[in-house]
Structure 1
Amino acid sequence: MTSVQETHEPGTSDSAVHRPNALVRQWQSFWAAVQFLTHIPVPAVLLADARDERPRLQLATLYFPLVGSLIGLVTGTVIWFASHLWPLWLAVGLGLAVEAILTGALHEDALADCCDALGGGWTRADVLRILDDSRLGSYGVLGLTLALFLRAGALAALEPSLMLPAVIASATLGRWAMILALALLAPLPDRPSLTQQAGRQTFGHVLGGAVLAVAGSLPLAVVSPLRLGLSVAAVLAVTAVFAFYLQRRIGGMTGDGIGAICYISQIAVLLCCCARLGITLRP
């Protein structure tokens, strides 16, 4: 009885044999981004091998804006359809509820945790301790309530022609802000997390994510280039200020930090899109 043995090319190692090609790695990274940002079950066959966890997560961040565009498309479509059956404020509430189910309220939870920790913690140790506490305090409740109110109010104030483009652009730019935040501020080294595995983002990742962010924001650019320009400026400002604040308070970025930046950036984009600029937009 003969046995079949694996044959390798001379000079190759086991890791080289099992390493997927570039296209497969990008495909796996996209699904890793879906897994990271949503509650959609992703089959293991679509993800990289566990031995490649860190490189996969580092590449996955590149696709955050694309996943954000898809999330925004779902949210905006639900609001658009629901607005034909119910008043707009009910349609907005339904759209946000569907999005929360789709994402597992990931960014809402991060924002509430950050409000609790940064509002109630006086020292670095206090902030990190509160971040680890799963209980929600008064700062978290107040911060999340105000954030939901601002986001829902901005959505309800949008002109009909801006609804879908603005929702998609806000979701897209919000996820791009996560990449930018990790480029401006490295994850805390003493807190093991998926954010730490993603690591400090390079200029190439920021630029690559920006390309996808621009693509996802094209509908808004067609309807109102001025509002898109203001939105990008607002996202840059929010990300830079929040990253600087986290640097001063705790000395690095956390998963809750990038989640809060994402949500606040989305609100900033929507506020830019519903602002009264003294111009007439044709539907």
Structure 2
Amino acid sequence: MAVQFLTRVPVPWLARLDGARAGDAFVRSTGWLPLVGTAIGIVTATVFALGQLWWPPLVALLVALAVEAWLTGAFHEDAVADFCDAFGAARDAETTRRIMKDSRIGSYGALGLGLAVALRVAATLAVPGSVGLYAIVAAAGIARWCAVLLMAMAPPAATGEGVAKDIGRLPRRSFWLAAVTVLPAIGLLAAGGRWTASVVLVVISLMLVWIARGIRRRIGGSTGDCLGFAAYAAQILVLLVVAGA
């Protein structure tokens, strides 16, 4: 279920589940999101590494990100645009929720998404040598873990819809399972330096506290777009920390 949720990879046997079993499986799958995210990072890093056999690093990275967008359906990028539009253009809860549900992208969303992708590209290219490949994989896994953490820190808004509402209050078992499935990603960072891994954990913790406080104050809790924005922001922060280490 986690694979189907985060990617376009077909999982045909899930069609045999009825509505109740599928809903229960979806809630329990949240604990596996960091591991699936790490797998997505492996695909992106592999395409980036192979692409550099033919093209300059910038071209290879853009191709890798294009492949990733196809693989994931630009899942988190869409959330970034919606989040930036809603929280940039609105000041009250009702307008914020209305803009977030709108499929159109405004100036805040376009600028926010453009800067987010540009920051991700720049930070990745700033990481030296083969460390960049490890950083891509680690950032992808930790990013999905941050979405799970935000579910625990900011339960879904009472009037919200979508992924956060479907999951509801994060089960304790899923919270601890996510803490285990993110270990491969954290281990990659720690292999490059314990100090770097420690700084990453501190930075993303501060980011999550800031986002959780902001969305609780503005709309009363989290939505799917809030979770997706947090994941993408965490991915960028991991890369920025590694690049500056």
Residue 227, structure 1, aligned to residue 196, structure 2: yes
| Corresponding position of 2:180 | 211
| Corresponding position of 1:36 | 5
Residue 165, structure 1, aligned to residue 134, structure 2: yes
Quote the offset at 1:159 in angstroms: 1.0
Tell me if the contact between 1:187 and 1:196 (Cα under 8 Å) persists in the aligned partners.
yes
Residue 230 to residue 99, structure 1, CA distance change in 2 (3 Å) = same
Structure-to-structure mapping, 1:130-209, within 5 angstroms? 130-209=99-178
| Corresponding position of 2:33 | 64
> Can you give the 5+ residue segments of structure 1 that lack an aligned partner in the other structure?
1-31, 278-283
Letter matched to residue 34 of structure 1: V
Q: 1:53 aligns with which of 4, 15, 22?
A: 22
Q: 2:56 aligns with which of 87, 105, 128?
A: 87
Number of residue pairs matched by the alignment: 245
Tell me if the contact between 2:139 and 2:185 (Cα under 8 Å) persists in the aligned partners.
no
| Corresponding position of 2:228 | 259
Tell me if the contact between 1:175 and 1:262 (Cα under 8 Å) persists in the aligned partners.
yes
Letter matched to residue 134 of structure 2: P
SS in 1 for 2:182: helix
Q: Distance in 2 between matches of 1:47 and 1:176?
A: 28
TM-score, length-normalised on structure 1?
0.83
TM-score, length-normalised on structure 2?
0.95
Tell me if the contact between 1:35 and 1:41 (Cα under 8 Å) persists in the aligned partners.
yes
Quote the offset at 1:219 in angstroms: 2.4
**Bigger Rg over Cα:** 1
> Can you give the 5+ residue segments of structure 2 that lack an aligned partner in the other structure?
none
Quote the offset at 1:203 in angstroms: 4.2
Q: 2:242 aligns with which of 261, 273, 276?
A: 273
Range moving further from structure 2, 155-164 or 257-266 = 155-164
Tell me if the contact between 1:172 and 1:213 (Cα under 8 Å) persists in the aligned partners.
yes
Quote the offset at 1:45 in angstroms: 4.1
Tell me if the contact between 1:154 and 1:270 (Cα under 8 Å) persists in the aligned partners.
yes
Quote the offset at 1:47 in angstroms: 6.4
Quote the offset at 1:238 in angstroms: 1.4
Tell me if the contact between 1:72 and 1:171 (Cα under 8 Å) persists in the aligned partners.
yes
Tell me if the contact between 2:34 and 2:178 (Cα under 8 Å) persists in the aligned partners.
yes
Q: Distance in 2 between matches of 1:98 and 1:226?
A: 32
Q: Distance in 2 between matches of 1:96 and 1:240?
A: 28
Q: Which has the higher helix share?
A: 2
| Corresponding position of 1:127 | 96
| Corresponding position of 1:6 | none
For residues 248-275 of structure 1, the C-alpha deviation after alignment (integer angstroms, 9 at most, x for no partner) is 1111100000000000000000001100
User: Please, what is the CA RMSD of the aligned residues?
Assistant: 1.5
Residue 75, structure 1, aligned to residue 44, structure 2: yes
Q: Distance in 2 between matches of 1:232 and 1:36?
A: 25
Tell me if the contact between 1:227 and 1:272 (Cα under 8 Å) persists in the aligned partners.
yes
Range moving further from structure 2, 89-98 or 189-198 = 189-198
SS in 1 for 2:81: helix
Quote the offset at 1:236 in angstroms: 1.5
State percent identity of aligned pairs.
38
Q: Distance in 1 between matches of 2:159 and 2:16?
A: 27
| Corresponding position of 1:12 | none
Residue 70 to residue 188, structure 1, CA distance change in 2 (3 Å) = same
Q: Distance in 1 between matches of 2:185 and 2:39?
A: 9
- Greater relative contact order (Cα < 8 A, sep 6+): 2
